[in-house]
Amino acid sequence: MANLTIKELPDDLYADLKRSAAENRRSIAAQATVILERALGRRSGGEVDVLARARALRERSDVRVTQDDIRAARDEGRA
């Protein structure tokens, strides 16, 4: 893998990146990689795995949730 050095990165931008990394429980380098992948229209490996697992579960399941089910659940208990 290649390494990237960013020179003269503004302090506030670095602070935002650091905060974002902490919120997502990633290292700063991993967070920067995810941001670059998204900016370049790519999905990270983790997102691809999650989507693949979700599709596999959906195919195996006989449970189907309709828009009417979602509306009814949302509206339940509302006056």
**pLDDT of the residue at 19:** 96
Model pLDDT, residue 51: 79
pLDDT (0 to 100) of residue 6: 94
Cα(8)–Cα(4) distance, rounded to whole angstroms? 13
| Among 61, 64, 6, 8, CA closest to 35 | 6
Instruction: Give the pLDDT score at 45.
Output: 62
| Predicted local distance difference test score (pLDDT) of residue 62 | 81
Q: How far apart are CA 22 and CA 16, in angstroms?
A: 10
pLDDT beneath 50: ranges in the chain: none
pLDDT of residue 48: 65
